[in-house]
Structure 1
Amino acid sequence: MRHQPLPPVGTFEAWRDAARALLLARVTPEEVSWSMGEVAPDLFARDSPLPDAEGTVTVPREFLQLARQAVWHRDPERFARLYTLLWRVQCEKRLIGDRGDPLVAKLNAMAKEVGRDKHKMTAFVRFRETGDPAAPRRQFAAWFEPTHFIVEPTAPFFAKRFGDMDWSIFTPDLSVHFDGTLNFAECAAKPPFPEDATEDLWRTYFRNIFNPSRLMPKAMQSEMPKKYWKNMPEAGLIPELITTAPARARAMAEAMPTIAPARAARVGEAVRQAQALREAGQDAFEVALAGCRRCPLWENATQAVPGEGPLDARLMFVGEQPGDREDLTGRPFVGPAGQLFDETLEGAGIDRDKVYVTNAVKHFKFVPRGKRRLHQNPNRDEIEHCKWWLGLERERVQPELIVAMGGTALESLTGSRRDILKRRGGVEALGDGTPLFVTVHPSFILRIPDRVRQEEERDRFRADLERLRSLTD
């Protein structure tokens, strides 16, 4: 019997290399005892160097996908099961697609459990601030208790999502630390964390999104198991919210004039939520927007960027989406396009402090190129999902005139961006009768390579804004 130890970090790569060498040496699955970390090997197993690996091993792509998930399961037999499957697929090429095979079925079930556990980690890790908020890079830490060994494969998600801060995630098996690069270390006990004032905001948000009329405790516990509650600040509210749910649901039902169809009930609930946000202060609106998960853009963006300006503004400017600077600062139109916008507003005699400025899409969509993040246009689904927030801003501000700057804004407000240059300078009526003025986005001007034509477009843009002033005087 051969003992094959594996490290707790880099486990998949170590298993893959060891399995390849063992397979090339024709070592059968029954001759190998696997372990990870400091687990004691089998009494009759022996440590011995791996034989020299000569030749190649070819496996189906589906096997590698399965192994990359199942290898992180807590089942102590996972390495042996995977090596047994690897041994068998050398002769049974189509075995990996046979879900009726007990070994294939077991490994697929393990992979599914690991995937679910990784999802729970990305959803239920709660960071607390541990460093000086004024430091160049803020410091956060969290404690999490996963079911499986998922810290290493899940860490890149957090590095990508929270790349602008230093953080640590501690678990009973392993800890991961990020300060620009990922580092792993052993962890045995939960460290003490300081109180974090932002947890009160999180509790407020959770209380406001809890719907008593749709209370299903079993379904809620299936999605958010109780084992995670002790490390989640909002979980302390759940017993009270469950207890008071029937009374709150009855009050909601009594407020309804009649028993509405299911679809009408959903629409009515959305209207009530929107009404609550309309009547709430700007801080509450921004808290709700910060938790937006209506489309996938939130996963890579730093933060949602709300509109800015007085809620009684007569003029509302709608741009396309936040850029790099807006994404980092959380304010609209503060980058190069925003500077051109401010200069042109001033030249046209319009005070920015008296207008409301926002974007059709609230999260920054980009593609990384080295250290740069290059803007990408939002697609139709992303624009459609974000129309709810723009519609809410329109209802809160109720401007006398709306300005659509660029194709994304025009599509969000009218449903079509076709012939935008022909529509430029014109006034259209929206569905509620609000007049809409069409012009280009300042970034369109900045992208013009020819300096002469760029200056011409600057003059045209200023002329558009000067016409706006005459329309609102």
Structure 2
Amino acid sequence: MIRIDLPRFERFEAWRQAARHLAGARVPSSQVIWADHDAAPDLFGAEPLPPPGNAPVSATRDFLDLARTVSFHSSPERWTLLYEALTRLQRERRFLKNPADPFVARLETLAKAVRRDIHKMHAFVRFHEVPSEGPRRAFAAWFEPEHLILEAAAPFFAKRFSDMDWLIATPDGVAHFDGALQFSDPVARPELPTDASHELWQIYFANIFNPARIKVQAMRSEMPIKYWKNLPEARLIPDMLADAPRRVRAMNEAGASNAPAYAAKVTARIRVPRQIAEPRSLPEARDQAAACTACDLCHDATQTVWGHGPVDAVLMIVGEAPGDQEDLKGRPLIGPAGQLLRTAMAEVGLDPEAAWLTNAVKHFKFTVRGKHRLHQNPTAGEIQTCQWWLDLERRFIQPRLTLALGASAAYSLTGNPSPLRGRRGKIEYARDGGPVLITWHPSMILRQKGQGAAARRELLEDLAHARAIILA
């Protein structure tokens, strides 16, 4: 048996180099033992690596992206599975495109668990300020991920908190940042001092708590109990849940104040939202969205236009709202603006079919002019009403990067209503913490007709930037 010992950090790069060597020598998977840094020594010794073989070995970008993600899983079988996938790829170049293949489904399950764990780490790390010897403030945090995701998750914090020194300690290692990101071996859980900002955070958390809108199951799904011990706000949750029925009764007994006379005109347009269960899958969310009546747009539109693309897409592209053709066919971004987008993506090497395409608003808003339905921009209220569906798409897709086309998409994702001129081409962050690249909506370029060349070049620059990010 050939034993390959992998380091604590940069494991994927070490695996990739060894796997290429072994596959080139046509070594079968059954003859290889992949050992993590903490694996016990082999009692019977191990054979040396064979000399490099002459068999050509190549890998697709899709495979490398999937393999890199799977490599952060805690399963000891992941290396063997990836090596088997690499050797199979030499015979079947497109087998990863078949989601019904049990082997592919198994790899995707591992990758999805890793992506979800990274998302949880981004959401639930809580920093404590610690004494600093330099001019910059310093912070430290402790986190216990389910998988070995420190290397994958840490760059997010390096971008977001680049103006301070920090470290994140986990049972598998420590990430340090002092202008450059580095990793070191694990240490015992540090004693972190009480942070004054945590008290402010608790006050804010208690004040936004609405006792009449408790969904305990959904809350525990998004904020699993295992993370509570490191969250300063979590200690408030049991008491707030216990006191919620009393507060709701008090609100009911207090009754409503007398509304002004014009309120009747407003409330006449408000419909009581349909009570629906929290969807457990993307298809279930799509089916629920098809019956949405939360705003007036549902009455005139032909249908709800749900997102389209692979469920494991690393890139999500969010437009404003469906147009005339999208409303009739039920597919996002297929009209003139969508065709311009797809052409531009192809020019920079992005596959439109590999991205999840969707809109901030799911119903077509228009005014009738003769025989034509002319597009109208959705209001801020309509965008906010539809955020429920966009948030569900993001929860199930968990893209690595989101491209916001235009002001409506940027507002829906980030909550920032500022003009796009100074934001275009820059990375901002969505409410759920994911990176969002802001760019022009292709419809704006079309409206400029012969004068849109500069905006089109900027769109191409942003698409190329997006490609570089997801391939990094």
CA contact (8 A) 1:2 1:45 kept: no
Amino acid at match of 2:200: L
Q: What is the aligned partner in structure 2 of residue 115 from structure 1?
A: 115
Amino acid at match of 1:140: F
CA contact (8 A) 1:114 1:150 kept: yes
Instruction: Give secondary structure in 2 for the equivalent of 1:129.
Output: strand
Structure 2 vs 1, CA of residues 45 and 3 (structure 1 numbering), >3 Å: closer, same or farther? farther
Q: Determine which of 381, 385, 388 is the counterpart of 2:408.
A: 381
Q: Deviations over 1:126-183 (max 9, x none)?
A: 0000024x95211000000000000011111111111110000001111111111111
Q: Deviations over 1:389-437 (max 9, x none)?
A: 88xxxxxxxxxxxxx99989xxxxxxxxx9xxxxxxxxxxxxxxxxxxx
Q: What is the aligned partner in structure 1 of residue 358 from structure 2?
A: none
Structure 2 vs 1, CA of residues 407 and 171 (structure 1 numbering), >3 Å: closer, same or farther? closer
Report matched runs for 1:11-410 at 5 Å. Answer: 11-44=11-44, 46=46, 48-49=48-49, 51-52=51-52, 56-132=56-132, 136-254=135-253, 255-256=255-256, 261-263=271-273, 379-381=406-408, 384-385=411-412
Report matched runs for 1:388-467 at 5 Å. Answer: none
How far is 1:11 from its partner?
0.7
Q: Deviations over 1:56-80 (max 9, x none)?
A: 4222322112101111101011000
- Supply the distance in 2 between the matched residues of 1:127 and 1:111 (Cα, whole angstroms): 27
Structure with bigger gyration radius:
1
Q: Deviations over 1:272-315 (max 9, x none)?
A: xxxxxxxxxxxxxxxxxxxxxxxx9xxxxxxxxxxxxxxxxxxx
Amino acid at match of 2:40: A
Q: Normalised by the size of structure 1, how large is the TM-score?
A: 0.55
Instruction: Give secondary structure in 2 for the equivalent of 1:140.
Output: strand
Structure 2 vs 1, CA of residues 383 and 169 (structure 1 numbering), >3 Å: closer, same or farther? closer
CA contact (8 A) 2:26 2:53 kept: no
Q: Normalised by the size of structure 2, how large is the TM-score?
A: 0.55
Amino acid at match of 2:212: S
* Consecutive aligned runs of 4 or more in structure 1 exceeding 6 Å deviation: 257-260, 386-390, 404-408
- Supply the distance in 1 between the matched residues of 2:170 and 2:23 (Cα, whole angstroms): 34
Instruction: Give secondary structure in 2 for the equivalent of 1:90.
Output: helix
- Supply the distance in 1 between the matched residues of 2:129 and 2:107 (Cα, whole angstroms): 39
Q: What is the aligned partner in structure 1 of residue 383 from structure 2?
A: none
How far is 1:261 from its partner?
4.2
Structure 2 segments unaligned to the other structure (5+ residues): 260-266, 276-317, 319-403, 423-443, 445-472
CA contact (8 A) 2:99 2:105 kept: yes
Structure 2 vs 1, CA of residues 262 and 50 (structure 1 numbering), >3 Å: closer, same or farther? farther
Instruction: Give secondary structure in 2 for the equivalent of 1:152.
Output: helix
How far is 1:98 from its partner?
2.3
Structure 2 vs 1, CA of residues 264 and 79 (structure 1 numbering), >3 Å: closer, same or farther? closer
How far is 1:17 from its partner?
0.9
- Supply the distance in 1 between the matched residues of 2:252 and 2:173 (Cα, whole angstroms): 49
How far is 1:385 from its partner?
4.8
CA contact (8 A) 2:166 2:177 kept: yes
Q: Deviations over 1:201-224 (max 9, x none)?
A: 110111122221221112111111
Instruction: Give secondary structure in 1 for the equivalent of 2:105.
Output: helix
CA contact (8 A) 2:141 2:168 kept: yes
Structure 2 vs 1, CA of residues 87 and 382 (structure 1 numbering), >3 Å: closer, same or farther? closer
Instruction: Give secondary structure in 1 for the equivalent of 2:240.
Output: helix
Structure 2 vs 1, CA of residues 261 and 152 (structure 1 numbering), >3 Å: closer, same or farther? same
CA contact (8 A) 1:126 1:232 kept: yes
CA contact (8 A) 1:6 1:14 kept: yes
How far is 1:93 from its partner?
2.3
Q: What is the aligned partner in structure 2 of residue 289 from structure 1?
A: none
CA contact (8 A) 1:3 1:41 kept: no
Instruction: Give secondary structure in 2 for the equivalent of 1:85.
Output: helix
Q: What is the aligned partner in structure 1 of residue 6 from structure 2?
A: 6
- Supply the distance in 2 between the matched residues of 1:406 and 1:40 (Cα, whole angstroms): 56
CA contact (8 A) 1:176 1:182 kept: yes
CA contact (8 A) 1:69 1:115 kept: yes
Residue correspondences, number: 287
- Supply the distance in 1 between the matched residues of 2:416 and 2:63 (Cα, whole angstroms): 43
Q: What is the aligned partner in structure 2 of residue 447 from structure 1?
A: none
Structure 2 vs 1, CA of residues 59 and 251 (structure 1 numbering), >3 Å: closer, same or farther? same
- Supply the distance in 2 between the matched residues of 1:216 and 1:387 (Cα, whole angstroms): 24
**% identical equivalent positions:** 47
How far is 1:383 from its partner?
6.6
Q: Deviations over 1:192-251 (max 9, x none)?
A: 111111110110111122221221112111111111110110000000111111222333
CA contact (8 A) 1:33 1:45 kept: no
CA contact (8 A) 1:74 1:148 kept: yes
How far is 1:38 from its partner?
2.9
- Supply the distance in 1 between the matched residues of 2:228 and 2:28 (Cα, whole angstroms): 45
- Supply the distance in 1 between the matched residues of 2:248 and 2:405 (Cα, whole angstroms): 38
Instruction: Give secondary structure in 2 for the equivalent of 1:37.
Output: coil
Amino acid at match of 2:61: R
How far is 1:263 from its partner?
4.8
Q: What is the aligned partner in structure 1 of residue 429 from structure 2?
A: none
- Supply the distance in 2 between the matched residues of 1:198 and 1:207 (Cα, whole angstroms): 14
Amino acid at match of 2:137: R
